[in-house]
Structure 1
């Protein structure tokens, strides 16, 4: 089953790794619990728009870079 959470989580993880941040360091900078950050990256947690903006700020990128380019798939 398709999940936009998984796509967003993967994009966040890719940006974090490219930024050279460990998950723990990233969570600390974003003021988010490390285990919650792990759930976000694995697509197991819904995040608010506010948190998405905060993560983009920490990653020094635009919010749209953390969103899938196209979501044409049907969600069950």
Structure 2
């Protein structure tokens, strides 16, 4: 996976589930619609920086740690593809 939007969605979904929240609950806490959370998690929509901070606040995580997790997601996917090509 080399798409940051998809990687962000994967990380967001994992954090949401770890927090025990539904998409609707996260949306309510962050002040966004449930369907928007779904679109972000599927990599269809990309949140603004403002929405990223709202989501992180609702999940009680630092935005920088989320971005770091997205980078790791991208790196692990890239390394899997690279090792398969060898």
Q: Which has the higher contact order (CA 8 A, sep 6+)?
A: 1
Relative to the length of structure 1, the TM-score reads 0.84
Query: What 5-or-longer segments of structure 2 have no aligned partner?
Result: 79-86
Query: Which structure 1 residue ranges, 5 or more long, are not aligned?
Result: none
- Calculate the aligned-residue CA RMSD, in Å: 1.7
Q: Which runs of 4+ in 1 moved over 6 A?
A: none
1:16-72 per-residue CA deviation (whole Å, 9 max, x = no partner) reads 100010111111111111111100011110111111111111000110222223556
Q: How many residues get paired?
A: 73
- Give me the TM-score of the superposition, normalised by structure 2: 0.75
Structure number with greater Rg is: 2
